[in-house]
Amino acid sequence: MEISRASLVLALFGLCVFAASANDGRKTYIVYMGELPRYTAGVALMDIHHTLLTHAIGDERIARESKIHSYGKSINAFAARLLPHEASRLSERRGVISVFPSTVRKLHTTRSWDFLGLPEKVKRNHNAESNLIVGLLDTGIWPSSPSFQDSGYGPPPNKWKGKCEKIANFTGCNNKLIGAKYINLDNAASPTDDLSPVDTQGHGTHTSSTAAGATVKGASLYGFAKGTARGGVPSARIAMYKVCWGIGCSDADLLAGFDEAIADGVDIISVSIGGFAKNYFEDVIAIGAFHAMKKGILTSCSAGNSGPYLSTVENVAPWIFTVAASSLDRQFKTTVKLGNGKHATGRSINTFSLKKQMYPLTSGLLAGSSNASTYGYPSECDWGTLLANKVMGKIVYCVGLIGGQDYTVKDLGGVGTIMSTDSSDSDAAFTFLNPATVVSREDGTMIDKYINSTRAARAIIYKSRVTKTAAPLIASFSSRGPQTISINILKPDIAAPGLSILAAYTELSSITGDPMDKRISKFNIISGTSMACPHVSGAAAYVKSFHPEWSPAAIKSALMTTATRIKIKGKDAELGSGAGQIHPRKALDPGLVYDLSEESYIKFLCKEGYNSSTIGLLTGDKKAYDCSKYRPPAQGIDGLNYPSMHIQLPKCSTSISAVFRRTVTNVGDPKSIYKATVKAPKGLNISVVPNTLSFHRLNQRRSFKVVLEGGFLHHDDWLLSAALEWRDGSKHTVRSPIVVYKALNERLQ
């Protein structure tokens, strides 16, 4: 069945769903061992892995056959096919941090950069920018796209150590797209996949061009969103690590993507892939991003497409930049006109122009077959429930938006599809296989009544129009906090455009991903936090081009404290948007930054209760790490110098009492005085001690604490949004959201 076609699966992003299985009962596991040993060469590392495996399996030959891969360029780990008892035996060995099954994860414009205040002619540090390399872990890349042409680009930066695999249908790299590898350790590729870095899905081409695509004039999807397409850092270079195949992205491949990208010398890593929240060291994205952080590389990840429900945010490790999706100020509206003269305007990206004035109109209910119930609901136009002779040549009205309805109607010779659902301005607009629009429930009922009222119902669906709308909002599909792993770290961190984004696409797939669809386009418009993430990767590279010496945490802080607060619709507030929408130009001059070193994260892990022998392996010190000196209250409630402040309280709590400890570093004017301004709702007292910070030189640090006291005034309140702003009285405002969340159920005790 064709239900979950790409056009409806938001940019193919989701959760990990199943583990790779095999007929001999062995499954692929990842054995994670932390930092590379300092004194052993690569060959010796493979011997260490082999010895461990032989011990666990008890047979040298089987051990040899079971080993899939030794990671060892940046990360000490290996992948092997194991039985459960072998995996548990391995997890008890010294030197092993974690052993976990490799799961398969799903993948979760022109105008977007102008909208973010980064117009084409913005000041740029071209030389530094052209030395930056953005690495993406994704579905591959379409090298022939105009977004990756290299006229005017010099040779790759000297630091680049990566390769380009010119193989199968991948035609090779150039001075813009400097690296491309594919990784298929776990046999995730299916026979229809191309064993090369070429992108047959479109997702990786889209994310790459959003982050760092070259400037392309006159880009559009069938005339929509027409303008100049470009990435956040058009002069930077791109390196693609294809780790996602038709079925998804295997953990074993993802970890290899990080292992390679870090060793190759990329500056930023962009990962628009699901990262179901779990223990950091059993999560390859958290592990990979941790090792990247150690080498000064910032990893930005999509927050997930499971909103608007609370506690759905993914990729939550504090060293990851977690990105929510916001809306642009444009919307795609598609109007349907009925034979009785009435109109309804819905949401879709309809590239088709119908030729006739009017077409016969019917509903799924009226076109249903008598035995339909064995297949589903004809009213919803479920696959197999409609009769071809009642659909042929007609526009069909279907209740709901379930995915695949356009396919069902088109397959039976229908002309167009009208769907109805509850929707808001922050919903995604989809591309369908035939002329289609998604109207509100009320308009759906109005259309259904009209169909019932006459024997000759007629309608026409017009090509979409692009209209202006208030923005930014947080996309309804964007995953929300509060997070479930480190409960006092606010996630998502930040928001960037992810709704109806135009960017480059592969010509090996139609714009809906359906082979029935003949529309191939150099650019496509899709939605998802997958599209938001590369905006932040590009923005981070832009900041780095001016401040090459800044740590990943400093870049992240600069983007967070200068973000534009998103006007809140609904009550989830910062749990949807984090610090707000990125404003890259402001982030060049944040005044102060909340910096973090590797050591800061280590202390944080101590506080979070990670075993000190584990931490020793992460740092590369063979001996157990002494966590005893890092206990609260010395660290404050969250134990991390984070640019936002967040606490989660149990449902029964009646009062709030928390202390956050922070240190800011002066990156603005050498001599400056900052004063604290607090914005807090009634009932929440926030004091900042001291509330004035004087600096005499650059890079000087000043510490302060933020004390929260008070309570929820009303029984059914569950979220308090406040903020701390440090202002120097002239140009700098350094804003941190402060968010207090009270659990809605008993989960937190």
Q: Which of residues 374-413 bind ligand NAG (CB under 6 A)?
A: 374
Between 19 and 508, name the residue whose CB sits nearer to ligand NAG.
508
Rg, Å, the chain Cα set: 26
Longest dimension (CA), the chain: 83
Supply the minimum distance, in Å, between the C-beta of residue 722 and ligand NAG: 13
Residue 54 near ligand NAG by CB under 6 A: no
CA-CA distances (angstroms) from residue 27 to 103, 471, 628?
10, 47, 38
Measure the CA–CA gap between 656 and 194, rounded to whole angstroms: 56
Instruction: Please tell me whether residue 440 binds ligand NAG under the rule CB under 6 A.
Output: no
Q: How many residues bind ligand NAG (CB under 6 A)?
A: 19
- Residue from 445, 454, 597, 699 touching ligand NAG (CB under 6 A): that is 445
Q: Is 689 helix (H, G, I), strand (E, B) or coil?
A: strand
- Retrieve residue 674's tokens: 């900052």
Buried-state track 695-727, b at ≥16 Cβ within 10 A, e below 16: beeeebebebebebebbbeeeeebbbbbbbbbb
At 344, give phi and psi (nearest 5°): -140, 135
Binding-residue pattern over the window 124 to 153 for ligand NAG, x denoting contact by CB under 6 A: ------------------------------
Annotated catalytic residue: which of 49, 102, 138, 486?
A: 138
As given in the structure block, the two tokens for residue 376 are 């589903």
Pick the stretch among 148-156, 333-341, 444-452, 693-701 that binds ligand NAG (CB under 6 A). Answer: 444-452
Q: Which of 174, 440, 685, 733 binds ligand NAG (CB under 6 A)?
A: 685
Closest CA to 473 of 369, 583, 577: 577
Gap between the terminal Cα atoms of the chain: 44
CB of 614 to ligand NAG, least distance (A): 6
Q: Give the SS3 label for residue 198.
A: strand
Tell me whether residue 167 is exposed, middle or buried, using C-beta atoms within 10 angstroms of its C-beta: 0 to 12, 13 to 18, 19 or more.
middle
One of 203, 206, 535, 547 is an active-site residue; which one?
A: 203
Task: Tell me whether residue 370 is one of the annotated catalytic residues.
Answer: no
Q: Look at the alpha carbons of 478, 482, 485, 488 in this order and tell me if their dihedral is positive or negative.
A: positive
* Interface with ligand NAG (CB under 6 A), residue from 54, 144, 215, 369: 369
Q: CA-CA distance, 197 to 715, in Å (whole number)?
A: 55
Rounded least distance, CB 240 to ligand NAG, Å: 16
The residue from 376, 513, 710, 737 that contacts ligand NAG (CB under 6 A) is 710
Handedness of CA 622, 627, 630, 632 (dihedral sign): positive
**Is residue 342 a contact point for ligand NAG (CB under 6 A)?**
no
Owner of token pair 């599909």: 477
d(CA 207, CA 214): 13
- Contact of 150 with 174, CB cutoff 8 Å: yes
Give least dist CB 65 to ligand NAG, A. Answer: 28
Report the residue number, 371 or 745, with the smaller CB distance to ligand NAG. 371
| Site pattern 560..599 for ligand NAG (x: CB under 6 A) | ----------------------------------------
Q: Which of 86, 186, 194, 251 binds ligand NAG (CB under 6 A)?
A: 194
657 binds ligand NAG (CB under 6 A): no
Q: Per-residue x/- marks for ligand NAG, 603-642, CB under 6 A? A: --------xxx----------x------------------
Token match 């695999």: residue?
165
- CB-wise, 86 or 194, nearer to ligand NAG? 194
What binding mask, one character per residue, do residues 55-94 give for ligand NAG by CB under 6 A, x or -? ----------------------------------------
- Stretch of 77-85, 259-267, 316-324, 447-455 lying at the interface with ligand NAG (CB under 6 A): 447-455
Instruction: Name the one residue in this structure whose structure tokens are 């930049």.
Output: 321
Q: Which of 195, 508, 707, 748 binds ligand NAG (CB under 6 A)?
A: 508
203 is catalytic: yes
What are the phi and psi torsion angles at 54 (to 5°)?
Answer: -60, -40
Query: Which residues are annotated as catalytic?
Result: 138, 203, 530
Residues in contact with ligand NAG by the rule CB under 6 A: 169, 194, 200, 365, 369, 371, 374, 445, 448-449, 452, 508, 611-613, 624, 685, 709-710
